[in-house]
Amino acid sequence: MEDQNPEPSTTANDRIKFNVGGKLFETTVSTLRSGGSDSLLSALSNRPAHDPVFIDRDPEIFSVLLSLLRSNRLPSTAKRFSNQELIDEALYFGVESHLRSALAPIPLNGIDSTLLTTVKPSSDGVVSDFHAVDGDESLWVAHGGQISVYDWNLSHVATVRTHLDFISSIKRIRPDVAAVGSLYGSGLHFYNVANGRRVSSAEWVDTSDVRIHKARVHAIADSEGSVFASYDCHHGENCVLMIDKSTMEISSEIGRMSGNSSKNMVPTKLTYVSEMGVLVGSSVMSGAFGYSGYVRLWDPRTRDVVWEMSDPGSGRSSRFGDSFADVDVDLDELRLFKICSKSGDLAVADMRKLSDDPWVYLKEKNPSMRNVGGNGGGNFVIHCYRKQAFVGREGELEVWSRVEGSEDEGIANEGLYRRNYVDKVEDSGRGIIKKIEGGGDRLFVTRENVEGIEVWQSSYNSGVVSVL
Amino acid sequence: MPPFAGSKSFSNGFHQDSNSNIVTIDVGGQLFQTTKQTLSLAGSKSLFSSISNSNQGVPFIDRDPELFSILLSLLRTGNLPSKAKAFDIQDLISESQFYGIENILINSQSNPSQFDAYNLEKSLVLPLSGRDSASTISTTKYGSLHVAHGSKITSFDWSLQRKSTILTQFTAIDSLLALSPTTAAAGATDFSGLQIIDLDKGFVKDTLNWENVTRSDSTVQAIGTSPEYLFTSFESGRRNSNCIMIYDLNNSLHPVTKIGHYEIFGADLDSAIPATKLQWVPSHNLLMASGSHSGPSGVLGNIKFWDIRSGNVVWELKEKVDCFSDITVSDTLSAMFKVGVNTGEVFFADLRNMDAYVPWICLGDGRKLANGKKEGYGCKINTHGNQVLCSKGNNLELWSEVLFGSTQKQGDNLSERVFKKNLMGRSNDIGGSRITNFDFGGNKMYVTRKDQQCVEVWNSVRGF
- CA nearest to A10, candidates A38, A53, A44, A52: A44
Statement to judge: residues B134 and B87 lie in one domain: no
Whole-number CA gyration radius for chain B: 26
The CATH number given to whatever domain includes residue B99 is: 3.30.710.10
Of A137-151, B17-31, B222-236, give the lowest mean pLDDT range: B17-31
Residue B246 lies in a domain: yes
Predicted pLDDT of residue A176: 93
- Over residues A125-140, the mean pLDDT reads 93
- Over residues A283-291, the mean pLDDT reads 81
Number of domains in chain B: 2
The secondary element (H helix, E strand) that includes residue B39 is helix B36-40
Predicted pLDDT of residue B262: 87
Q: Mean pLDDT score of chain B, rounded to an integer?
A: 86
- How many beta carbons lie within 10 A of that of residue A353, not counting itself? 10
Residues B310/B338, Cβ–Cβ less than 8 Å: no
**Distance from chain centroid for Cα A253:** 26
Of A220-229, A275-284, A437-446, B338-347, give the lowest mean pLDDT range: B338-347
Predicted pLDDT of residue B435: 93
Out of A145, A155, A159, the one facing B463 most closely (by C-beta) is A155
- Over residues A233-237, the mean pLDDT reads 92
Which positions in chain A touch B69 (Cβ < 8 Å)? 58
**C-alpha distances out from residue A287 to A262, A268, A291, A325, B34, Å:** 10, 16, 6, 12, 72
Q: Is the pLDDT of residue A261 over 90?
A: no
pLDDT band for position B446 (cuts 50, 70, 90): very high
Out of B34, B121, B463, the one facing A122 most closely (by C-beta) is B121
Which positions in chain B touch A174 (Cβ < 8 Å)? none
CA-to-CA distance for A357 and B392, rounded, in angstroms? 59
Out of B7, B31, B464, the one facing A117 most closely (by C-beta) is B464
Out of B82, B366, B400, the one facing A82 most closely (by C-beta) is B82
Predicted pLDDT of residue A177: 95
**Distance from chain centroid for Cα B273:** 26
pLDDT tens per residue across span A379-415: 899 999 999 999 998 899 999 988 876 555 555 565 6
- CA nearest to B66, candidates B45, B48, B81, B77: B81
Statement to judge: residues B179 and B105 lie in one domain: no
On the 0-12 / 13-18 / 19+ scale of CB atoms within 10 A, A378 is middle
Which positions in chain A touch B86 (Cβ < 8 Å)? none
Statement to judge: residues B104 and B122 lie in one domain: no
Out of A44, A54, A145, the one facing B422 most closely (by C-beta) is A145
Determine how β-strand A290-299 pairs with β-strand A278-287: antiparallel
Statement to judge: residues B90 and B152 lie in one domain: no
Q: Is the pLDDT of residue A215 over 90?
A: yes
CA-to-CA distance for B116 and A158, rounded, in angstroms? 9
Q: A275-284: list long-range contacts, CB under 8 Å, 24+ apart.
A: A275/A331, A275/A334, A276/A334, A276/A351, A276/A352, A277/A301, A278/A306, A279/A221, A279/A228, A279/A240, A279/A254, A280/A327, A280/A329, A280/A336, A281/A219, A281/A230, A281/A240, A281/A255, A282/A327, A284/A324, A284/A325, A284/A326, A284/A327
> Residue A84 and residue B5: Cβ atoms within 8 Å?
no
**Distance from chain centroid for Cα A21:** 42
φ/ψ of residue B414, rounded to 5: -70, -30
Residue B1 lies in a domain: no
- Over residues B447-452, the mean pLDDT reads 94
Statement to judge: residues B31 and B167 lie in one domain: no
CA-to-CA distance for A28 and A14, rounded, in angstroms? 6
Residue B464 lies in a domain: no
φ/ψ of residue A426, rounded to 5: -70, -25
In chain A, the percentage of residues whose pLDDT exceeds 70 is: 90
CA-to-CA distance for B314 and B351, rounded, in angstroms? 12
Statement to judge: residues B28 and B131 lie in one domain: no
Is pLDDT larger for residue A96 or for residue B196? Answer: B196
- Over residues B202-219, the mean pLDDT reads 87
Predicted pLDDT of residue B405: 79
Statement to judge: residues B146 and B187 lie in one domain: yes
CA-to-CA distance for A249 and B431, rounded, in angstroms? 45
pLDDT band for position A290 (cuts 50, 70, 90): confident
What b/e sequence results for A40-79 when a residue is b if at least 16 CB atoms lie within 10 Å of its CB, and e otherwise?
Answer: bbbbbbbbebebbbbbbbbbbbbbbbbbbbeeeebeeebe
Predicted pLDDT of residue B172: 94
Statement to judge: residues B37 and B125 lie in one domain: no
- How many beta carbons lie within 10 A of that of residue A314, not counting itself? 10
Instruction: Measure B215 CA to nearest chain A CA, in Å.
Output: 53
> Residue A88 and residue B119: Cβ atoms within 8 Å?
no
Q: Is the pLDDT of residue B10 over 70?
A: no
Residues B333/B386, Cβ–Cβ less than 8 Å: yes
Residues A292/A342, Cβ–Cβ less than 8 Å: no
pLDDT band for position A334 (cuts 50, 70, 90): very high
Residues in CB range of A302: below 8 A, 6 or more apart = none
pLDDT band for position B268 (cuts 50, 70, 90): low
ipTM surpasses 0.90: no
Q: Nearest residue of A to residue B24 by CA position?
A: A22
pLDDT tens per residue across span B137-163: 999 998 899 999 999 999 999 999 899
pLDDT tens per residue across span B37-58: 888 888 888 888 877 777 777 8
In chain A, the percentage of residues whose pLDDT exceeds 90 is: 54
Residue that finishes a domain, picked among B110, B143, B173:
B110
Statement to judge: residues B93 and B136 lie in one domain: no
What b/e sequence results for B363-391 when a residue is b if at least 16 CB atoms lie within 10 Å of its CB, and e otherwise?
Answer: bebeeeeeeeeeebebbbbbbbeebbbbb
Residue B175 lies in a domain: yes
Statement to judge: residues B171 and B50 lie in one domain: no
**C-alpha distances out from residue A88 to A373, B77, B92, B141, Å:** 46, 9, 22, 27
Predicted pLDDT of residue A80: 86
- In order, the DSSP letters of B76-105 are HHSS--GGGGGS-HHHHHHHHHHHT-HHHH
Statement to judge: residues B310 and B342 lie in one domain: yes
pLDDT tens per residue across span B317-326: 888 888 999 9
- How many beta carbons lie within 10 A of that of residue A28, not counting itself? 16
Q: Is the pLDDT of residue A207 over 60?
A: yes
Q: Mean pLDDT score of chain A, rounded to an integer?
A: 87
Instruction: Measure A59 CA to nearest chain B CA, in Å.
Output: 10
Statement to judge: residues B304 and B201 lie in one domain: yes
The CATH number given to whatever domain includes residue B166 is: 2.130.10.10
In chain B, the percentage of residues whose pLDDT exceeds 90 is: 48
Residues A311/A318, Cβ–Cβ less than 8 Å: yes
Residue B291 lies in a domain: yes
Residues A340/A325, Cβ–Cβ less than 8 Å: yes
Degrees to nearest 5, angle at CA B98 with B94 and B104: 75
Instruction: Measure B369 CA to nearest chain A CA, in Å.
Output: 13
Q: Is the pLDDT of residue B1 over 60?
A: no
pLDDT band for position A292 (cuts 50, 70, 90): confident
First to last CA, chain B: 27
Which positions in chain A touch B1 (Cβ < 8 Å)? 56
Q: Nearest residue of A to residue B26 by CA position?
A: A22
Instruction: Measure B282 CA to nearest chain A CA, in Å.
Output: 25
B123 and chain A: CB distance < 8 Å anywhere? no
On the 0-12 / 13-18 / 19+ scale of CB atoms within 10 A, B254 is exposed
- How many beta carbons lie within 10 A of that of residue B1, not counting itself? 13
Q: Nearest residue of A to residue B419 by CA position?
A: A163
Residue A252 amino acid letter:
S
Out of B4, B405, B426, the one facing A55 most closely (by C-beta) is B4
Say if residue B227 is preceded by a cis peptide, omega within 30 of 0: no
Residue B455 lies in a domain: yes
Residue span of the structural domain in which B369 resides = 114-459
Instruction: Measure B261 CA to nearest chain A CA, in Å.
Output: 44
- How many beta carbons lie within 10 A of that of residue B356, not counting itself? 12
Predicted pLDDT of residue A175: 93
Predicted pLDDT of residue B363: 87
CA-to-CA distance for B72 and B272, rounded, in angstroms? 59
Residues 427-456 of B with CB under 8 A from A: 427
Residue B219 lies in a domain: yes
Q: Is the pLDDT of residue A365 over 70?
A: no
Residue that finishes a domain, picked among B110, B145, B162:
B110
- CA nearest to A125, candidates B119, B460, B463, B125: B119
Residue that finishes a domain, picked among B110, B129, B152:
B110
